[in-house]
Structures are given as C-alpha cells and as structure tokens.
Structure 1
Amino acid sequence: MKRSTLNITFAVGFLATAVGLLVARSNPASSYEPSIYTGTPTITWAAFALALAVAVSTALTCRGREQAFGIALGATTVTGIVSLPVIRNYRFAGMGDALTHLGWTRDIVTGQTAPHELFYPGIHSLASVFHYVGGVPIERALLFGIVILFVPFLLFVPLVVREISGSGVAVGIAAVISWMVLPINNIATHMGVHTNSNALFLVPVVIFAFVAYLRRRAAIERLAFGLSPFTLLIFLTGIALLFVHPQQMINVVVLLGAISAVQFLARRRYDDHPILDHPTMYAHTVVLGVIFTVWATSNERFRDALAGLLTGILTADVGGGAEVGQREASLQEIGSGLGELFVTMFFELALISLVVGVFILLVWLGRTSLDPETKSFVNYLSLSLIPLTGMFFVYFFGTPTMAFRQVGFLAVILTILAGVAFARGVGGLSSVITRPGANAVVALALGACLVLGLMTVFASPIIYSPNQHVTDQKFSGYEAGLTHTDDDTPLAGMGYDPYRYDHGLNGIEREGTLSAGTADSGTVDPEAFEAGNYSGAYHGSDYYFVVTEFDLTREIEIYDELHHSEDSLEEFETREGVDKVISNDEFRMYSVSGSG
C-alpha cells in the first residue's frame, strides 16, 4: 500500500475513534442501564468497529512505524471502550467488591485508615491521589484508576512478544489478541474496581522486566554491586503488583520459580544450550517470595482466606463441582445452559488455548523452526503453565472464585504465547496459500474473536449478568435509607445484600458498619416471599425491604422471574404491614412489620 494511502487510512481510523468517543461523551447515561452496550449510541460502536478494522489490518500487515500506528490505534480504541463508564458519566460502576473498595478509599481520604494498613492499597491510593490533586469525586477517581491500570496490559503484551521473538508478525498478532482482554471472564474477574482483576493488567509489565533481564546481559548495563537495572525493575514491578493484589504477585513468584527450575535442570543436563547463557532467576524468586510471605502472613485477611481454601478442599459440599451444578440448574430453569454460556464467554479463550497448546506440543517435539533463543523463552512460559494450572485445580476444589481468578492469570500467559504461536501459523499457512491470503485468514479469525471478546468485557444481559451501573438516584436512595431509618431494624434486599452500599457511602473503619450474613443486613427468602409470608421472609422480625432497578432487571427480565415475580411484588405493595418509606425512579424502600 502506498504511503499516502496508508496515511489516509490511519487518519480515518483515528478520526473514527475520536467521533465514537465524542458521541459517547455527548450521550451520558441519564438512568440505570442494564447493558452499557445497548446504552451507548450505535454511532459509537460503528465508529469503533471501523477503527478496529483499520487497526487489525495494519497491525498484521505493516511493519515498523506503520505497524506501531496500527497498534496505537487499536489500543486507543479498546481503552476508549474500557473507559465508557467514565466517558458516559457513570456515577459509579460495580456493586460487589467495588463498593467495599470505594469504602476503603473513602476511609483513606477521611483519615479513618492509612494506605499501608490495607492488604492491597494500590488502586485506593491511586484514586486518593486523583481525588486530592484533581478534585474529582472519589467514585470517579476509582473509575479513572481502572483505566490507568488497564493501559499497561495493551502496551506491554506486544513489547514482551517483541523481546521474546523479534518477529513483526508476532508483535502485531499479540497486540490484536491483547485487545480481546482475555483475562476478564465476568465470573471472578471483572472490568471494574476489582483489585484482583486490575492486578492482572500489570502482570505483563513484570514479565517484560524479567524477559528484558534475561535478554540484555551486557556488563555496561550493570549498576553498583553488580546489580542490573532490570533486576531493580523486576523488584519494583513485583512490589507494585503486590500492592494492587497479592494473589497475582504469588502467581508471578510461581512463574519465576518455574523458570528457575528450568534453568537449574538445563544446567544439570546440558553443556551447551541458550538457557545456560541466561542469568539465573534464583535470587529474584527468593526475594519476591520473601516479600510476599512477610506482607501476606502479617495480614489477617490472608490468613482467613487461606483457612477458607483449606476448609473448601476438605469439605465435600464446597468447591467448584457444587457451584457449577447449582449454576447449571438455574440456567436450565430460564431456558439456557452452561454450553451456551461457555461459548459466549470462553470461546475465544478456548480457541486461542487450543492453538497455543498445539504450538507448545510442536515445540517440544522439535517440529518448529524457532531460533534457540525464542524457543527457550517459549519453554519458560509453557512449562510455567504446569504449576499454574495445578494451582487452578487446588482453588477449584477449595474456593471456586479463586479458581476463575487463576484462569485470568493463565489467560495473560496464553495471550503472550499466542502472539508467537499464531505467527508460526501464518508462516505455515503461507506455504499452502499466498502470504496475503494467510494474513487475510488470520485477520478474519482474530477479528471475529475480537468482536466476541469485546462483547463480554462488561457484564450485560447476554451473559445473564446485568450491568452494575450505580446511579445518583440509587446512591441517594441508599444514603437516605441508611441515614434516616431505625438503626435497630435490619435491611433486606431482593437477592442483593444492601451492606455493600453502607461500605461505599460511609466507609468501613467505623463502628456499626453493616456486614454480610449478620442480623443487620441480608436478603429475603424468595420462597417465603413468593408465598406471601413477608414476615417469615426475613427471620420473622421487622425489617426494611429494598428494591432497585437493578434488582427488577435481574430478577424479572433476565432471570425470567426465577426467584421473584412481578405479581408478588405488586401484591406485596398492597399488603397490610408494608409501608413505602423512600422512593425514587430507581430505588424503593419498604418498612415491613414482622407480624405482617
């Protein structure tokens, strides 16, 4: 393609991204949106689609500066998609852990707690800086933090692949696969204020640090005491990861431990091998392992989580098998199933895992033409998948949520390996058809996976999980309810425990904070509620019943009245002993008499 034509193509792509962002900004969310995809104007999605089409084609076919422009276009567009809650003026996004993180950030801002007193203070500290320096509300500052922590993923995945293989094809493919955001699965990793998920996007930075350390060994790069600048970079990025979330830090320690084991075995077995020329990772593994151990064991939350994991492994009715069975039964009742949901949420990850798996097998069988240095790095990462996958099974039988978080980390490694694997696939396909034809086939396949991946970055009805958009009216309703109602009367939600809103609005480090599973906060029993036994629906006592637009969307529209029906809610409002005490367009609170 001529340079002038290419310049015009890039101009069209960047203009499309700008138009999409401006249209999204000019159409802010005015009320609760069940799906950010349908709430965002169609023009925005059309503009983003055009920009990504240009980005995919140029990232795969161009080299040098032009390829960098294509990668920059795609990364900018995907960052814009991830930033939609900020761009479209969401008050907040996230109703589970996100609200608790909001409460911790509020505690830091108000001086109720210090950052170092938290187990993972990274995003809370970052949001506090935005709040103090920029004067933005704490909720918005946290949304900014999500974007800031996400961008390194898009930057460093292609940089790691460039360090590993040096192939322009591999770099472009790795960039495109990074745009799919494979670490987000919306089961245990989420695109929101969720520190475990946010930490995943920093993992490529740590991997880049140790790959650069292994690659660049010149004496001129040494600092005092024989230290390499990349050694310091490994330690600094590892500590940064620890502060965002320790689970991903321990995964990095396991990764480095696996590399150290490969180096040790190579030194025992071979007299001449590229791995023998690499500096060892023994010290880095030990130092980061000690840092994690000291930090984690001094924290009560870690000790409780470890005890819960061990209990889950030893208890027959706890674990992934039981949870999967419950989810499958619920999906069947609303006319769906795990198969359909798996295709929607995991098809692109499964396809890429299959390609990477075949590629690794060919590497181990010696059936590829990789240069020895690249093959060494592929072996490092592929062999590390063995202990990392073993950790997945430990989590699966102990705490299923942790297992799917582990899938997120595995997806980061697979994203990096996929760049090299698909590049070799393009080379092999080129021997069968023409090189342009091979590029076209790969571009179409990756483009289809990219669409599917971006469709599930955010929670939405397509995966039976409504958008966790928190509006001004919802915050206002909860704030009034928590402030003006009787403190001795518990709050009960319709499938959602209101205690998280107490965390987000009032902080956590104070007396009287609501907690899950206590006499102060919980959810009504759906069977008793549907039967009209409103007093028996919540411990037979007086309580406040909260219904939000999110609850109605989930229970009535998405779950198809599986647990709560619209008729029962209408009957509930007219029952004696039930009084509406707070109401706006998206929030209702009722006072329910225990004798009703």
Structure 2
Amino acid sequence: MRRTILEGVFAGGFVAVAAGVLFARENPATGYESSVYAGTPSATWAAFALALAIAVGTAIVCRGWYQGVGIGLGTLTVTAIVSLPVIRNYRYAGMGDAMTHLGWTRDIVGGKLEPHELFYPAVHSIGSVLGEVGGIPVERALLITMVVLFVPFLVFVPLVVRNVSGSAAAIGFGAIVSWMVLPVNNVATHMGVHTNSNALFFVPVVVFAVVAYLRRRAVIERLPLGLSPFSVLIFLSGVALLLIHPQQMVNVVVLVGAIALVQFLARRRYDDHPMLEHPTAYAHAAVLGLVFLAWSASNERFRDAISSVVYGLFAADVGAGTEVGQREASLAEIGGSIGELFVALFLDAAIIGLIVGLFVLAMWLGRTKVERETAAFVTYLALALIPLGGILALYFVGTPTMAFRQIGFIYVVLTILAGVAVAHLAGGLGRFVTRPGANAIVALALGACLMLGLLTVFTSPLIYDPGQHVTDQQFSGYESSFEHAAEDRPHAGLGYDPYRYDHGLYGLEREDVLSGATIETGEVDPDRFGAGNYSGAYHGVDYYLTVTEYDLTREVDVYQELYYSESSLAELESSPEADKVISNGEFSMYAVDGTE
C-alpha cells in the first residue's frame, strides 16, 4: 500500500475516534441506563467500529512505525470505549465495592483518613489527587482513575510480547488480543472502580520489568551496588501493584517464584540453554515476597480473607460448583442458560486459551519453529500457570469470587502468550493458503472475538446484569433518606442493601456509619413482599424501603419478576402499611410499618 494512502487511512481512523467521542459527549446520559451500549449513540459505535477495523488490519499487515500507529489507534479506540461513563457524564458507576471505595476517597479528601491506613490505598490516593488538582467531584475523579489504571494494560502487553518474541507479527496479534480485555469476566472482575480488577491492568507493567531484566544484560546499565535498572523497576512496580491490591501481588510473587524455580532446575539439567544466560530471579522473588508479607501480615483484612478461604475449603455448601448450580437454576427460570451466559462471557477467552494451550504443547513437542530465546520465555510463563492454576483450584473449592479473580490474572498471562501463539497460527495457515489469506482469516476470527469481548467489558442486560449507573437522582434520593430518616429505623432494599450508599455519600470514618447489614440483611424477603405482606417482609420491624430505577430494571425487565413482581410493587403504592415519603422520579422511599 502506498504511503500516502496508508497515512490517509490512519487519518480517517483517528478522525473516526474523535467523531465517536464527540457524538457520545453530545449525548450524555439523562437518566439511569441499564446498558452503556444501548445508551451510547449508534454513530459512536459505527465510528469506533471503523477505527478498530483499521487498527486490526494495520496491526497485522504493517511493520515498523506504521504498525505502531495502527496499535496506537486500536489502543485509543478501546480506551475511548472504556471511558464512555466519563465521556457521557455519568455521575458514578458501581453500587457495591465501588461505593465503599468512594467513601474511603471522601475520607482521604476530607482529612479523616490517611492513605497509609488503608490496606490498598493507591486507587483512592490517585482519585483524591485527581479530584483536588482537577477541581472535579470525587466520583468523576475515581472514574478517571479507572481509565488511568486501565491504559497500562493496553500499552505494556505488546511491549512484553516484543521482549518475549521480537516478532512484529506477534506484537500486532498481542495488541489485538489485549483489546479484547479478557481479564474482565464480570463474575468477579469488572470494568469499574474495583481495586482488584484495577490491579489486573497494572500487572503487565511488572511482567515487562521482569522480562526486560531477564533479557537485557548490558553491563553499562548497572546502577550502584550492581543493581540493574530493571531490578529497580521490578521492585517499584511490584510495590505499586501491592498498593493497588495485594491479591494480585501474591500472584506476581508466585509468577516470579516459578520463573526462579525453572531457572534453578534448568541450571541443574542443562549445560547449554538460553535460560543459563539469563540473570537469576531468586532475589526478586524473595524480596517481593517479603515486601508482601511485611505489608499484609499484620492487617486484619488479610487475615479475614485467609480465614474465609480456609473455611470455604471445609464447608459443604461453599464453592464455585454450588454457586454455578444456583445461578443455573435462576437462569432457567427466566429463560436463560449457563451455556448462553458462557458464550457471552467466556467464548472468546476459551478460544484464546485453547490456541495458547495447543501452541505451548506443540512447542514443547518440537512441532513448531520457535527461536530458543523465545521458547525460554514462553516456557517461563507457561510453567508459571501451574502454581497459578493450583491457587485457582483452592479458590474454586473455597471461595468462588476469589476463583474468578484468579482466572482474571491467569488471562493476563494468557493474553501475553496469545501474541506469540496467534502469530505462529497465522504462519502455519500460510503454508496452506497464501500469507495474506492467512492474515485475513485470522483477522476476521480475532475481529469476531474482539467484538464479543468489548460487548461484555461492561455489565448489561445482555449478560443478565444491568449496568450499575448511579445518577444524580439516586444520590440525592439516598442523601435525603439518610438525613431525614429516624435513627432507629433500618433501611432495606429490593435485593440490594442500601448501606453502600451511606459509605459513598458520607465515608466510613464516622461513628454512625451503616454496617454491611442493617439488621441481619438489608434486603426485604421476596416471598412475603410478593404476597403483599409488606409489614412482615423485613424481620417484622418498622423499616424504610428504597426503590430505584435500577431496582425496577433489574427485577422486572432483566430478572423478569423472578424475585419481586411488578404487581407487588404497584400495590405497595396504595398499601396502608406503607407511606411514600421521598420520590424524585428515579428514587422512592417508603416508610413501612412492621408487625411487631
């Protein structure tokens, strides 16, 4: 392709991204949106689709500077998609842990909490700084923080692949797979203000430092005391990851420890191997492990997390199998299935995982032409998946949420390996068809996976989980409800405990903060509520019931009245047991008299 034509194509791609952002910005959310995809104008999606089509094609076909521009175009487009809550002026997004993180950030801004008093203060500290420096609300600052911590994933995955392989094709394919955002599974990892998920996107920075340390051995780069600059980068990036979320730091320690163990075994087994020329990672694994233990051992949250895993291992009714069975039964009642949900959430991940697994097996059996240096790095990362998989097995039995978080980390590693694997797949196809034909086939397959991955990067009714968009009306409604409510009267919701809003609005560093359950649970009993027994639906006591547009969308439209029916909600309006005391269009609160 002639240079002028190619540059014109790139210009069109960047103009498309700019136009898509402009269309989205000119159409902000005016009320609660159950799907950011449906709420965003079609023109935006058309523009982003054009930009991604150009990015995929040029990342595969072009080399050198132009390949970098193509990767940059794709990175910019995916970043714009992830930034849609910011671009479309969402007040906030996230009603669970995200609200608690918002509360801690408010406490830091208000001087009620020092960052070092938190177990993982990085997200809150960055949000505080952005809010203070930019003069923007804390909610918006945290949404921007989410984007800031996401970008390193898109930037460093192709950089790691470049150090692992050096193949231009592998770099391009690695970049495309990173755009699928496979670490997000919307079971336990999410695109939002969720520190564990935010930490996943920083992991490639640490992996880049490790790979660069192993590969680049110039003596003139040494610092005093014989330290490599990349050793310093490993320690600094490891500490940064620890402060974002310690669980992912544990996985990095296991990863580096596995590399160190492979090096030790290679030195005992081989006389001539690329691994023998790599500097050892023994000290790095030990130092990172000690840093983690020093930070975590005395922390109560860490001890509680360990206790919950141990309890789950021995409890008969805890585990991913139990949870999957419960989800399958609920989905069947509303016309869905686990198979359908698997396709939406995990099909692209399963395809990439299968490609990587077959490639690694073929490489170890000597069926591929891989340079010895590249094979060494692939072996490092592939063998590290064994202990990481062992941790996954423990989590799977003990705590399902932790299991799916572990899958998120594993897919960070698989995303890196996918660049090399898909490049060899395309090369293999080139022996049966022309090389351009092989590239076209792989590009189409990756494009389909990319579309599926980006369609599920945010929650939406497509995966039976409406978006957790928090509007101004919801915030103002909860603020009024907490300020004017009687102190001895608990708050309850429909399948959702309102205490998180108390965290988000007022922080957690005060005496009267609501706990994780106002009495025993913050949810009204669906059976009694559905039968019209509003007085007895919440432990028989007087209570406040909050109903938001999010609740109605989830229970009526998405869950199809599985737990709470539209008729029972309508009858609540005229019930003598309930008195509507707050209403603003998207938020209603009822004072309900109990039976006791």
- Between the aligned partners of 2:427 and 2:530, the Cα distance in structure 1 is 61
Per the alignment, residue 535 of structure 2 pairs with 535
Shift of 1:521: 6.2
Local SS of the residue matching 2:102: helix
Q: Residue deviations 1:184-243, cap 9 Å, x none?
A: 010000000000000000000000001000001111111111100000000000000000
Q: 1:285 is matched by which residue type in structure 2?
A: A
Q: Residue deviations 1:59-116, cap 9 Å, x none?
A: 0000000000100000000000000000000000001100000000001011111000
Q: 2:243 is matched by which residue type in structure 1?
A: F
Q: 1:46 is matched by which residue type in structure 2?
A: A
Per the alignment, residue 30 of structure 1 pairs with 30
Shift of 1:477: 0.1
Q: 2:249 is matched by which residue type in structure 1?
A: M
Q: 1:131 is matched by which residue type in structure 2?
A: G
Per the alignment, residue 39 of structure 1 pairs with 39
- Between the aligned partners of 1:428 and 1:557, the Cα distance in structure 2 is 47
Q: Residue deviations 1:379-398, cap 9 Å, x none?
A: 00000001101111101111
Per the alignment, residue 496 of structure 2 pairs with 496
- Between the aligned partners of 1:307 and 1:252, the Cα distance in structure 2 is 22
Per the alignment, residue 239 of structure 2 pairs with 239
Per the alignment, residue 556 of structure 1 pairs with 556
Counterparts of 1:223-238 in structure 2, within 5 Å, are 223-238=223-238
8 A Cα contact 1:33 1:467, kept in partner: yes
- Between the aligned partners of 2:508 and 2:322, the Cα distance in structure 1 is 32
- Between the aligned partners of 1:394 and 1:130, the Cα distance in structure 2 is 38
Per the alignment, residue 430 of structure 2 pairs with 430
Q: 2:579 is matched by which residue type in structure 1?
A: D
- Between the aligned partners of 1:252 and 1:245, the Cα distance in structure 2 is 11
Local SS of the residue matching 1:541: coil
8 A Cα contact 1:577 1:595, kept in partner: no
- Between the aligned partners of 1:306 and 1:105, the Cα distance in structure 2 is 26
Q: 1:248 is matched by which residue type in structure 2?
A: Q
Shift of 1:536: 1.5
Local SS of the residue matching 2:50: helix
Q: 1:142 is matched by which residue type in structure 2?
A: L
Per the alignment, residue 75 of structure 2 pairs with 75
Q: Residue deviations 1:219-277, cap 9 Å, x none?
A: 11111111000000000000000000000000000000110110000011111111000
Counterparts of 1:408-557 in structure 2, within 5 Å, are 408-519=408-519, 522-557=522-557
Counterparts of 1:361-400 in structure 2, within 5 Å, are 361-400=361-400
Local SS of the residue matching 1:535: coil
Per the alignment, residue 84 of structure 1 pairs with 84
Per the alignment, residue 171 of structure 1 pairs with 171
8 A Cα contact 2:549 2:587, kept in partner: yes
Per the alignment, residue 191 of structure 1 pairs with 191
8 A Cα contact 1:489 1:520, kept in partner: no
Local SS of the residue matching 1:321: helix
* Range moving further from structure 2, 313-322 or 197-206: 313-322
- Between the aligned partners of 2:107 and 2:250, the Cα distance in structure 1 is 27
Per the alignment, residue 269 of structure 2 pairs with 269
Shift of 1:595: 2.9
Gaps of 5+ in 1: none
Q: Residue deviations 1:472-517, cap 9 Å, x none?
A: 0000000000001101100010011000000000101111111123
- Between the aligned partners of 1:23 and 1:518, the Cα distance in structure 2 is 43
Per the alignment, residue 576 of structure 2 pairs with 576
Q: Residue deviations 1:4-60, cap 9 Å, x none?
A: 110110011000000000010011001000100000000000000000000000000
- Between the aligned partners of 1:141 and 1:109, the Cα distance in structure 2 is 12
Q: 1:401 is matched by which residue type in structure 2?
A: T
Pair 1:351 & 2:351 matched: yes
Shift of 1:520: 8.2
Q: 2:403 is matched by which residue type in structure 1?
A: A
Pair 1:181 & 2:216 matched: no
Per the alignment, residue 2 of structure 2 pairs with 2
Pair 1:139 & 2:107 matched: no
8 A Cα contact 2:534 2:577, kept in partner: no
- Between the aligned partners of 1:387 and 1:517, the Cα distance in structure 2 is 37
Local SS of the residue matching 1:536: coil
8 A Cα contact 1:212 1:230, kept in partner: yes
Q: 1:343 is matched by which residue type in structure 2?
A: V
Q: 2:460 is matched by which residue type in structure 1?
A: S
8 A Cα contact 1:514 1:520, kept in partner: no
- Between the aligned partners of 2:36 and 2:534, the Cα distance in structure 1 is 34
Q: 2:132 is matched by which residue type in structure 1?
A: Y
Local SS of the residue matching 1:457: coil
Aligned residues: 596
Could you state the TM-score of these two structures normalised by the residue count of structure 2?
A: 0.99
Q: 2:303 is matched by which residue type in structure 1?
A: R
- Between the aligned partners of 2:152 and 2:503, the Cα distance in structure 1 is 29
- Between the aligned partners of 1:224 and 1:12, the Cα distance in structure 2 is 49
Q: 1:199 is matched by which residue type in structure 2?
A: A
Local SS of the residue matching 2:589: strand
Q: 2:313 is matched by which residue type in structure 1?
A: I
8 A Cα contact 2:499 2:517, kept in partner: no
- Between the aligned partners of 2:306 and 2:8, the Cα distance in structure 1 is 56
Per the alignment, residue 159 of structure 2 pairs with 159
Shift of 1:427: 0.9
Per the alignment, residue 210 of structure 2 pairs with 210
Local SS of the residue matching 1:225: helix
Per the alignment, residue 106 of structure 2 pairs with 106
Shift of 1:366: 1.4
Q: 1:461 is matched by which residue type in structure 2?
A: P
Per the alignment, residue 401 of structure 2 pairs with 401
Local SS of the residue matching 2:522: strand
Shift of 1:573: 1.5
Q: 1:345 is matched by which residue type in structure 2?
A: L
8 A Cα contact 2:535 2:577, kept in partner: no
8 A Cα contact 1:495 1:523, kept in partner: yes
- Between the aligned partners of 1:152 and 1:253, the Cα distance in structure 2 is 20
Local SS of the residue matching 1:537: coil
* Range moving further from structure 2, 82-91 or 519-528: 519-528
Pair 1:254 & 2:263 matched: no
Local SS of the residue matching 1:590: strand
- Between the aligned partners of 1:431 and 1:349, the Cα distance in structure 2 is 26
Shift of 1:532: 1.4
Q: Residue deviations 1:538-595, cap 9 Å, x none?
A: 0000000010000000000000000011111111211112100000110000000013
8 A Cα contact 1:59 1:173, kept in partner: yes
Structure 1 ranges of 4+ moved more than 3 A: none
- Between the aligned partners of 2:459 and 2:401, the Cα distance in structure 1 is 16
- Between the aligned partners of 2:98 and 2:595, the Cα distance in structure 1 is 36
- Between the aligned partners of 1:559 and 1:333, the Cα distance in structure 2 is 9
- Between the aligned partners of 1:273 and 1:36, the Cα distance in structure 2 is 51
Per the alignment, residue 130 of structure 1 pairs with 130
- Between the aligned partners of 1:407 and 1:388, the Cα distance in structure 2 is 9
- Between the aligned partners of 1:167 and 1:272, the Cα distance in structure 2 is 24
Change (3 A) 1:394 1:520: closer
8 A Cα contact 1:105 1:128, kept in partner: yes
Gaps of 5+ in 2: none
- Between the aligned partners of 1:122 and 1:265, the Cα distance in structure 2 is 37
8 A Cα contact 1:491 1:521, kept in partner: no
Q: Percent identity at matched positions?
A: 67
8 A Cα contact 2:426 2:439, kept in partner: yes
Per the alignment, residue 301 of structure 2 pairs with 301
Local SS of the residue matching 1:527: helix
Per the alignment, residue 340 of structure 1 pairs with 340
- Between the aligned partners of 2:21 and 2:575, the Cα distance in structure 1 is 48
Q: Residue deviations 1:142-183, cap 9 Å, x none?
A: 001001000000000000000010000000000000000000
